[in-house]
Structure 1
Amino acid sequence: MAKLTFNELAYNNLDEFIYGYAKKPVTFKNGMVIGNGIVYPELNVTLPPISINESTMKKVLSQYKEMITGACEKAIKLHAPGIIVEIELLPPCTFNPQWGIDVAKVVKDVLREYEGQGLKSLLRLTPVDIREGNDLVHMYHGEHWDKVMKTFQGSAEVGADMLAIESVGGKHLHDEAVMNCDLPKALFALGVVGAKDMEVLWTNIVKIAKETGSVASGDTACGFGNTSMVLAEKNFIPRVFAAIDRVMCAVRTMVAVECGATGPDKDCGYEGVYLKAITGTPISMEGRTSACAHSSSVGNIVGALCDCWSNESVEFQRMLGGMAPTVYMEQLIYDCRLFNTFTALGQAKIYQDVMVASDKKLDPHAYILDPKVVLDLSAKIIKGKTTFERTKIAAQATIEELKRGIAAKELDVTEREVNYLDILEQQLATVPDDEAQFTAEMIKNNTNDKFDPKQYDL
């Protein structure tokens, strides 16, 4: 299948670039439409610490059933117009595909039961990308690849409405780049290795989705951009590096859409705002309600463009208000009620402006999520003809925009952060324009024994 190309922005009017509305809404079999005016809550749940094996699978399935039942009961009580449940499978449930398929079936069966009571719902199923480790033969064939594909296929066949993944192609390189604040290596990991991996992976996921009647929703650079963001939040790396890295991630993540994914893009991909700007696909975002999983400085501004509102992931644990998944479903529903009420009152733009203003000035990562900044940077990114060119443009354009914002006093950062912008710009200047030359240089100088170019057919 030929890749789609996006050479123009989906949005030319900033007033139209808002939460709840996407240029390309996605309609599901049960009538739910994502991106057509209603923001839906997306609950992401996971198990408490437990050994997953043959002897514990009955208990595992029972806990998933109990989690989703409690969440659905709460959704009916609070009159939710519809809900989304995401299951990010734990590693044993992808290494053993039938276990993952059984989880998908149990969850979908509960959702079907409550659909009978009037609660519309969707299941997003996210196998873990197990394509790493010393026993990996190849990224695109062999045991690891086969198990990921079998988990997708089987889960879709038992009713998963959306297929998603947090893919890891190039992650070993990127981890090293982040720890050393090495922008050229991050560019290689995302714009060359990661982009190539995304094309192969998502061509296959889209094929499975078409065969099974499910929806290929999208990827996320969680293992890349979120790693940078969380490390910056802990002051291990500069915050400006994490912000630049996030915009670069957008080019890699967009490859899924170029291969046929339709959205809604996955919640922990904060770069989804750039996908929405360029491709028009709806996106899921996570903010203040994801504090159960990780801290950030972008808790409000991420809501400015969301079409689904998620909590990242919460364990099945008891809280004073009830079991945690049920509690978080309540929080998500109330957040979405605010989104949708502002829209119904014709005040969505005011609410968006408040969310943006509350975070934008305080952190570089928040700054690059401002809808105006997103459109400005996206317009520059699409001038590139390849993912490599676009990733390089994303880095340079973000550096320039951060410098402009700091000079205009629209962004507050420390002097250390300002100095790092100059250092990173100098690093980027060493990257040649020729992708083949750059790739050859990066492979020749590679010292990361976890990265084997042959596993990627490089």
Structure 2
Amino acid sequence: MAIKFDKCAISDLEDFVYGSCPKPVTTKGGLVIGGGTVYPEINFTLPGMDVNDDTIGKANTIYTNIIDGVLKRAAELHAPGVLVEFETVPDFTENPQYGIDVNRILLNGMKEAGEKYGLKTAIRTTPNDLREMSRPPVMRGGKYWDTMLALYEQCAKDGSDFLSIESTGGKEINDDALVKADIRKAIFALGVLGSTDMEFLWGNLVKLAEENNCYAAGDSACGFANTAMVLAEKGFIPKVFAAVMRVVAVPRALVAFEQGAVGPSKDCAYEGPYLKAMTGSPIAMEGKSAAGAHLSPIGNIAACVCDTWSNESIQQVKLLSEMAPVVGMEQLVYDCRLMNTATEKGQNRMLRDLLAESDAPLDVQAWVLKPDVVLKISKELVKVQDKFLQTKLAAKLTINELRDAMKAEKVLYDRRDMKWLDKMEKAVDKIPDDKEKFYEEMKSSLDFDKFLPGEYGL
């Protein structure tokens, strides 16, 4: 039975702050995420190298060195706790034993850090979504699905605290929508395909987590809205399109929580503030301290309501001071220390507002993450339960919000952005409310060599 979110769990701006939420999550090791403290969430990966039977020993040594180094630095800086994220490289998911062994290495390093330093830790295990490796993608079965589940299940049995994924259902259509800045096709990809896949995927992941004493945490629209942000930063698509895409991705991500996920949501899910407002669950966010992974226009505002603060990911390479993940750990600890000290001094809302106001007027993509804007839009989204209609509404609400802000000269924008908003609005208004009718209208623009309708119940 799906959980229904028909009103916002957080409706008052005074209650919408970092480090605290109505539904905190307590880990096996004693971290209370969303219980008043923001924790650093460290993410790392291998340097450029092939992964195979000949090199897996070297890879394992690298991960051993990483976990020992980052947790040592966290302890030296008196971090109140650390959430470790293990994002698998594709080889680790395709060959589950590789990923299982590394996950065990990280768990062992965490245990040793607890014994040596008294450091509280937890781990989020995030296999990559292998299903897109089939062409066209096979979403509900087959070898890639089976190997993903095998990795999830064993890592959960071994002691992982959280399970996450950056799922790709609908991406085969959304990629084309992004390149062409086609909001109509993007709504189909996210509101019809992506949301349908999320229901299947997260129904399975929640069940698996519950059977193995861990939490189903959350998903990310990384391959959708984040790709739009990166394309906009490079000037390939309008920033207003990327800003609208950010909110259009929210209903899809919400499905994980409707199926029973509890958070923290995935770090690169910048739709996280909307999820926190609607569900009351904790969220992970990333911003300025994720610049080693990707650039963004939302480095400060992303922290406004975070519960864990992440560096996205960083390779194990040597910098002048230390290895890059150790540097990332230090940056995160200091960011969190400032936020937590502000909370202790009763200044958390002031810091939240400064984080927002330092970014929001400068970019439309930051504007849609303003806490007051998030609450305003979220309160309307929860009035609609159908994912397709909710996705369509997300686009309309965001277009209206951006137009009002631009007309009032509250946010910087390109001279062509008003025309783009008008263009998107007209496209959205022409989308029928009936999902099946919309699919019939979309058929002529879909490449069925890339897309299997049956995988999405069509």
C-alpha displacement of 1:454: 2.4
Q: How many Å apart are 1:274 and its aligned residue?
A: 0.4
Whole-angstrom CA distance in 1 between matches of 2:385 and 2:256: 17
Which amino acid counterpart does residue 44 of structure 2 have in structure 1? V
Q: Distance in 2 between matches of 1:228 and 1:75?
A: 33
2:167 counterpart of 1:164 = no
1:455 shift after superposition: 2.9
Report what 1:14 is aligned to. Answer: 13
Aligned to 1:400: 400
Distance 1:435 1:220 in 2: 24
Aligned position for 1:309: 309
- Give me the TM-score of the superposition, normalised by structure 1: 0.98
1:174 is displaced (CA, Å) by: 0.6
- Corresponding residue for 1:90? 89
Query: 1:286 maps to which residue?
Result: 286
Q: What's the CA shift for 1:336?
A: 0.3
Deviations for 1:365-400, whole angstroms, at most 9, x for unmatched residues? Answer: 100000000000111111213001100000000000
Per-residue displacement from partner, 1:313-366 (whole Å, max 9, x unpaired)?
000000011101111101100000000000000000110111001000111110
Q: Which letter maps to 2:110?
A: L
Give the match's secondary structure for 1:315: coil
SS in structure 1 opposite 2:145?
A: helix
> What do the CA deviations read for 1:50-70 (whole angstroms, capped 9, x no partner)?
110011111111100100100
Tell me, yes or no, if the aligned pair for 1:136 and 1:144 is still in contact at 8 Å. no
Query: In structure 2, what is the Cα distance between the partners aligned to 1:299 and 1:385?
Result: 32
Q: CA deviation at 1:252?
A: 0.2
Q: 2:137, 2:450 within 8 Å by CA — same for their partners in 1?
A: no
1:79 matched residue in structure 2: 78
Please tell me the residue identity of whatever aligns with 1:454.
Answer: G
- Give the percent of matched residue pairs that are identical in Structure 1 and Structure 2: 47
- Taking the aligned partners of 1:63 and 1:116, their CA distance within structure 2 comes to 22
Match of 2:103 in 1: 104
* Alignment partner of 1:261 is 2:261: yes
Q: Provide Cα deviations, 1:268-301, integer angstroms capped at 9, x if missing partner.
A: 0000110001000100000000100111100000
How far, CA to CA, are the matches of 2:123 and 2:115 in structure 1? 16
Partner of 2:218: 218
**TM-score with structure 2 length normalisation?**
0.98
SS at match of 2:384: coil
Residue aligned with 2:24, SS? strand
Q: In 2, are the aligned partners of 1:206 and 1:216 still within 8 Å (CA)?
A: yes
Alignment root-mean-square deviation, CA: 1.0
Aligned pair count reads: 457
Q: Which residue of 2 aligns with 1:346?
A: 346
- Which amino acid is 1:95 matched to? E
**Does the CA-based 8 Å contact 2:11-2:379 persist in structure 1?**
no
Alpha-carbon separation, structure 2, partners of 1:183 and 1:92? 34
Local SS of the residue matching 1:314: coil
Amino acid at match of 1:87: F
Distance 1:98 1:287 in 2: 33
Match of 2:28 in 1: 29
Query: What is the aligned partner in structure 1 of residue 208 from structure 2?
Result: 208
Larger deviation, residues 133-142 vs 94-103: 133-142
How do 1:126-205 residues align onto structure 2 when only pairs under 5 Å count?
A: 126-134=126-134, 138-205=138-205
* Structure 1: unaligned runs, 5 residues or longer: none
**2:41 touches 2:85 (CA, 8 Å); kept in 1?**
yes
Contact 2:135–2:450, Cα closer than 8 Å, also in 1: no
Aligned to 1:231: 231
2:2 counterpart residue number = 3
| Alpha-carbon separation, structure 1, partners of 2:104 and 2:389 | 42
- How much has 1:121 moved relative to structure 2? 0.3
CA, structure 1 residues 135+297, in 2 after alignment: closer, same or farther (shift >3 Å)? closer
Secondary structure of the corresponding residue to residue 46 of structure 1: coil
- Distance change >3 Å, CA 278–CA 137, structure 1 → 2: closer
When residues 171 and 135 of structure 1 are mapped into structure 2, their CA distance, relative to the original with a 3 A threshold, is closer
Contact 1:247 1:395 in 2 (8 A): yes
In structure 2, distance between residues paired with 1:320 and 1:70 = 15
- Confirm whether residue 124 of structure 1 aligns to residue 120 of structure 2: no
Instruction: State the Cα deviation string for residues 436-456 of structure 1 (Å, max 9, x = none).
Output: 211232235413521121233
